[in-house]
Chain A
């Protein structure tokens, strides 16, 4: 979680460093919109700790935490975010379109788009007779999309090895769930398709780890799909530059940050020393700085290559 937070914190700085004028999202070293995942680390870490070679993830528009936790190469991912030729997609995808075939990782800016794709990947795994699983990640707002329901239906009908993960950070851009959703827990929605649905409260990484482990074990054993909803926290704006004027919970955001809370719990229980914590932070810092340097030093795609690799 420290590694992810360090990454997001540095991308935040880099994104704003030379964005002039500030409203021009095309300006600066990192072009395009930016959706950072600070505060949501427990969901990614608790789930991805159970994954192994051959397992797949389809992530949404806020993908960095799941990408890093799943083992996507930090340098290639950073180069992609910077739009460089050494990036995962040769700089043509940007931060919302990270595709890593080696690690079976993909993401998309289209809400809930990853859910049907995950069903396809899980179907392939099942037909090949492997015990691999696919993790489909989306936010709580995405659960109102038709693709969510179609995917749960198919996954249940075909008994697919997929775990649907809902990151409920309370805000679908600027819309609270109460203003958009009649059903107050997406864990309950799973019942409509006859699959188990579990909700983990308090952004607790150990609780996510246990629940995700049970869900993934089920899927590997051929017992079918399940849904895991994690009540998490969007520590920053929906996108970078979002003033969050709509947000009624800003006052309590900092005190709900899961990282200092978990670090305090680990040190209090004697599982982590201050020295170990400093080592972890230093290692994360070095890795992130190296990734940024790699990206900054990589070439920008040539204009004449704009149409290459775009059409299959």
Chain B
């Protein structure tokens, strides 16, 4: 039984402002654009009966931008908007803290606005809460393209309907990388580079790559995983991953899009499969580890990274599959009264016409969850949540 109709929102205000606007053709998605995307998400969530949203607090304009939309007649269908009561550090700790609070609050799904890096941090703390990822990063292999309104509808359906969750979600793979005491989890790629230091984080020069480990590799991806995608594609739900040694002597030369507007010839020495649960050790004696395209730490021979493909990654919402299921089940459509006889006649041959999704006695779970969430708010029993005064909110 799904009990919650609260949906979480993590919108990274810092995504897509990195150095790839200078060294490549990184886009200029502004804070206002992100708020606009969230307006669409909220409309989608409200349309399918989600009655409360718990969003990450930030000091960079997302929270204040959302609050400016509260109370406008055009937004009357929005769920109640609340924010996690959390310290604002303007670091990735804000994302991990907010995600933890959302899990504790029992959200039915989390909508993530960011790139692979943001999703990586959310996934590390989300447990079994389904994630709906909307791309607002520079290079994004993990989030799949979906319009924000549609993504909001999908998130709401997964949160409110157990059958939608069953039909529309899957467990993603991850790559665990261990170096000394440090443990990181990648959603898409782990790269061993010989760049000198962490610097601005991003990886955009494929000539610095020595080894690449991929949980999946799609030919139409952008970023490091495209290197594998053009040589040996690996589907998101395929049980194996891919390990690549780069450099000379090269058996292949591939020309993948490493960044927006940036294609570079890359020499590949060998390819091999990564089997889940079987740990492999990096060959390089020293270098910098990049996780999902972000350089995170240096290592020496005493902390040579060990990489393991795992099948226990985040629960991911397949937006298209969720909406297909909703259409088949007629969760977002109903038969007009004037057409009832014809519809009934038709349904005798094509299956039963479905009840509207908000019907309290259809599957029971949605109505119950709504009441549960309202009671939670009314009683003020959720210490992780605050309903801010728009006039006094930090921005």
Contact = CB atoms under 8 A, between A and B. Distances in A.
Is B truly associated with A?
Answer: yes
Interface of A: 178, 183-185, 187-188, 190-191, 196-202, 206-207, 209-211, 214-215, 218, 226, 231, 269
- Most central of B13, B32, B395 by chain A CB within 10 Å: B395
B23 A197 contact: no
Nearest to B23: A214
A231 B22 contact: no
A8 to B, nearest CB: 24
Contacts of A191: 28, 30
A211 B395 CA distance: 26
Nearest to B61: A184
A188 B23 CA distance: 17
A198 B395 CA distance: 20
B21 interface: yes
Interface in B19-64: 19, 21-23, 26, 28, 30-32, 59-61, 64
Contacts of B28: 188, 190-191, 197
B265 interface: no
A210 B196 CA distance: 11
A231 B31 contact: no
B64 A185 contact: no
Given A201-B14, A207-B200, A184 B60 contact: yes
B199 interface: yes
B197 interface: yes
A187 B90 CA distance: 16
Interface in B262-285: none
Nearest to B300: A270
- Most central of B23, B31, B60 by chain A CB within 10 Å: B23
Contacts of A185: 13, 17, 30-31, 60-61
10 contacts: A178-B394, A184-B31, A184-B61, A199-B17, A206-B199, A207-B198, A210-B199, A214-B19, A214-B23, A231-B90
A185 to B, nearest CB: 6
B395 A178 contact: yes
A187 B18 CA distance: 10
Contact of A206 (B17, B18, B61, B197): B197
A183 B28 CA distance: 13
Nearest to B196: A206
Contacts of A183: 30-32, 61
B69 interface: no
B197 A226 contact: no
Given A206-B197, A218-B22, 17 more contacts: A183-B30, A183-B31, A184-B31, A185-B30, A196-B21, A196-B22, A197-B17, A198-B17, A201-B90, A202-B91, A206-B199, A207-B198, A210-B199, A210-B200, A214-B19, A215-B22, A269-B298
A14 B186 CA distance: 52
- Most central of A183, A196, A200 by chain B CB within 10 Å: A196
B201 interface: yes
B59 A178 contact: yes
Nearest to A265: B198
A237 to B, nearest CB: 21
B22 A214 contact: yes
Closest 3 CB pairs of A and B: A184-B61, A191-B28, A178-B395
Nearest to A170: B59
A109 B271 CA distance: 60
A226 B22 contact: yes
- Most central of B30, B91, B198, B298 by chain A CB within 10 Å: B30
Interface in B234-259: none
B21 A201 contact: no
A231 B394 CA distance: 17
Interface in B57-86: 59-61, 64
A67 B341 CA distance: 83
A299 B60 CA distance: 50
Nearest to B297: A269
Contacts of A200: 200
B292 to A, nearest CB: 17
A158 to B, nearest CB: 19
A198 B59 contact: no
